[in-house]
């Protein structure tokens, strides 16, 4: 049965040969069902571009227990905002203020797993331009975007939809362009979309400034964690050559936003994620056993702890569970830059942070290949990957 409100072609019925017709109808329904599923995999923007949708297609409807609590129609309710810690990079750079700023950073990573950064220079490195070019990319005709569609989660450039398209039972109201940025940016940029014409230039400038921010925050947090200088220097060299993935997300306006999510509850792979978003809020994090809307300060970028940092810090820093809700009137663009160590690097707790008495080792070692393998057979929601790595489950 067609469950979309947009038109799907339906061949005419004939009055005679009822039984044959019933059979044909069944086949047709099955065909329509298949067409519809194929259509949904072309993404939410494509779906919306085909005609006005007034009802959420069933594939996007979450079971009641997973739905966001009803928000006001335009934006999630402001009452659920918490002001997340603000880290001022300028203070980290002033020797007399560094110790106090490091203590604040350490507390933010432990208590929230997410913070806002000001004085970061990312805007100067092209945050506004990045959001603008992202919006223009999603505005391109579908055929242009579809050139980068791939079901292969390993593809370095990939246009896709939902969260983990391979395994999602319920689809998410989100399309994305994934761009893997290796340390040799010049080597990968030619494989990125060539439209809009300024995309490669703008995105590579943004990717570089986000990587600089990642390194500066890593340097500060390694100091805050008390990592020996030799080991810290090795980690920072790995950050220079580290993995970086840009997820350029588009969340179109949604006809029934309280029934679905733009992204399901998940934590990010890697050490730190630098998140840029436009004027439209939607990110919620799990804090003190409830979902809290992130309402960032103008000009700030949001940074969150990923699974690798939780493992490396032996649980001292928490990778934050987060999700994205959508709304009925305003499309939203966000750009998440996920940073980690080189893909071949094995991640495990830092020796300085493990002792047999008070801080027993909480996680086993892991690597990127194990993660990819995990994703092909699991949805990857919640903190499920991290839990497969836990040695102590209490
Ligand atoms: O859009 C957002 O605010 C968050 C995006 C996100 O969590 C991700 O891309 O992993
Ligand atoms: Fe995320």
pTM of the model: 0.88
- pLDDT at position 120 is 76
Contact 138, 333 (CB under 8 A): yes
- Mean predicted lDDT score pLDDT of the chain: 86
ipTM score: 0.99
- pLDDT at position 5 is 27
Ligand 1 near 263 CB (within 6 A):
yes
> Each residue of 302-337: pLDDT tens digit?
999 999 999 999 999 999 999 999 999 999 999 999
CA 283 to ligand 2 center in whole angstroms: 9
Kindly list the protein residues that place their beta carbon closer than 5 angstroms to ligand 2, a single-atom ion. Answer: 268
- Would you give the distance in Å from CA 344 to the centre of its chain? 22
CA 320 to ligand 1 center in whole angstroms: 12
Q: How do the domains of the chain map onto residue ranges?
A: 87-341
CA 291 to ligand 2 center in whole angstroms: 15
- Domain 87-341 in CATH 2.60.120.330? The answer is yes
Average pLDDT for 72-84:
57
- pLDDT at position 381 is 79
Contact 267, 306 (CB under 8 A): yes
> Each residue of 266-287: pLDDT tens digit?
999 899 999 999 999 999 999 9
> Each residue of 139-165: pLDDT tens digit?
999 999 999 998 787 788 999 999 987
Backbone angles phi, psi at 42, to 5 degrees: -80, -5
Ligand 1 near 275 CB (within 6 A):
yes
């Amino acid at each position: 049965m067609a469950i979309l409100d947009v038109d799907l072609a339906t061949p005419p019925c004939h009055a005679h040969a009822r039984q044959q017709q019933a059979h044909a109808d069944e086949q047709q329904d099955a065909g329509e069902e298949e067409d519809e599923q194929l259509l949904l995999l072309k993404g939410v923007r494509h779906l919306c571009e085909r005609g006005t949708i007034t009802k959420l297609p069933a594939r996007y409807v979450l079971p009641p227990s997973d739905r966001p609590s009803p928000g006001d129609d335009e934006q999630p309710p402001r009452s659920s905002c918490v002001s997340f810690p603000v880290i001022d990079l300028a203070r980290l750079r002033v020797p007399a203020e560094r110790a106090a700023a490091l203590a604040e950073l350490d507390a933010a990573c432990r208590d929230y797993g997410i913070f806002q950064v000001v004085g970061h220079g990312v805007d100067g490195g092209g945050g506004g331009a990045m959001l603008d070019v992202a919006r223009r990319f999603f505005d391109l005709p579908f055929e242009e975007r579809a050139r980068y569609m791939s079901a292969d989660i390993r593809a370095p450039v990939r246009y896709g939809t939902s969260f983990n398209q391979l395994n999602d039972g319920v689809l998410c109201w989100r399309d994305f362009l994934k761009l893997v940025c290796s340390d040799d940016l010049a080597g990968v940029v030619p494989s990125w979309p060539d439209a809009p014409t300024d995309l490669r230039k703008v995105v590579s400038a943004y990717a570089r400034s986000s990587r600089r921010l990642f390194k500066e925050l890593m340097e500060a947090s390694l100091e805050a964690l008390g990592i020996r200088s030799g080991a810290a220097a090795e980690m920072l060299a790995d950050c220079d050559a580290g993995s970086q993935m840009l997820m350029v997300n588009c969340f179109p306006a949604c006809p029934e936003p309280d029934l679905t999510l733009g992204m399901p509850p998940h934590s990010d792979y890697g050490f730190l994620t630098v998140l840029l978003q436009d004027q439209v809020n939607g990110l919620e994090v799990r804090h003190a056993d409830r979902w809290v809307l992130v309402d960032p300060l103008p000009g700030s970028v949001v940074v969150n702890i990923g699974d690798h940092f939780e493992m490396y810090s032996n649980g001292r820093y928490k990778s934050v569970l987060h999700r994205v809700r959508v709304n009925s009137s305003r499309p939203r663009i966000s750009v998440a830059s996920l940073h980690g160590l080189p893909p071949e690097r094995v991640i495990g707790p830092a020796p300085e942070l493990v002792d047999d008495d008070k801080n027993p080792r909480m996680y086993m070692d892991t690597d990127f290949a194990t993660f990819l393998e995990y994703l092909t057979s699991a949805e990857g929601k919640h903190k499920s990957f991290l839990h497969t790595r836990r040695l102590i489950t209490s």
